[in-house]
Amino acid sequence: MDKISPFNLKKFRQETGMSQKQFAEAVDLPTRTYRSYEAGERGLSIEKFRDLKAKLGFHRDHEKQSLRARIDYLRISFPALRDLESFCKNFLFCHLSEFSAQETRLMNYTH
How do the pLDDT tens digits run along the chain, 111 residues long?
Answer: 688 899 999 999 998 889 999 999 999 999 999 999 999 999 999 889 988 988 887 765 544 444 444 455 666 677 777 788 888 888 788 888 877 776 666 556 565
Q: Structural domain boundaries of the chain?
A: 3-60+72-98
Candidates 1.10.3720.10, 1.20.120.450, 1.10.260.40, 1.10.8.420; correct CATH number of 3-60+72-98? 1.10.260.40
Q: Which one, of 47, 41, 50, lies nearest residue 12 by Cα?
A: 50
CB distance 53 to 16 below 8 Å:
no
Query: What sections of 1-111 are H helices per DSSP?
Result: 6-16, 20-26, 31-39, 46-55, 60-70, 84-87
- pTM across the whole model: 0.53
